[in-house]
Amino acid sequence: MEGVRPAQIHGIPCVQTEVEQWEKGGLSRRTLFLRLTETHCFYVAEMAERNGCLYFGSFMDDEWLARYEVGENNSGRPVEQRAKGIITAEEGNRFTVAQEETADIFGRYRVTIGERCFDTVALAESENGIWIIQYLNREGRTVLFRRYNRDDWKQEQYGQPWSQKLPDSEIHIVNGQRYVHWYDCLPDTVL
pLDDT the model gives residue 175: 94
pLDDT beneath 50: ranges in the chain:
none
pLDDT the model gives residue 121: 94
Beta bridge partners of 87: 97
- CA atoms within 13 Å, Cβ hemisphere of 29: 5
pLDDT the model gives residue 159: 92
Instruction: Give the span between the Cα atoms of 3 and 29, in whole angstroms.
Output: 14
- CA atoms within 13 Å, Cβ hemisphere of 97: 23
User: How many other CB atoms sit within 10 Å of the CB of residue 160?
Assistant: 11
pLDDT digits (tens, 9 = 90+) for 132-176: 999 999 888 889 999 999 999 989 988 999 999 999 999 999 999
Helical ranges in the chain per DSSP H: 62-68, 155-158, 162-165
pLDDT the model gives residue 9: 93
What is the reported pTM?
0.72
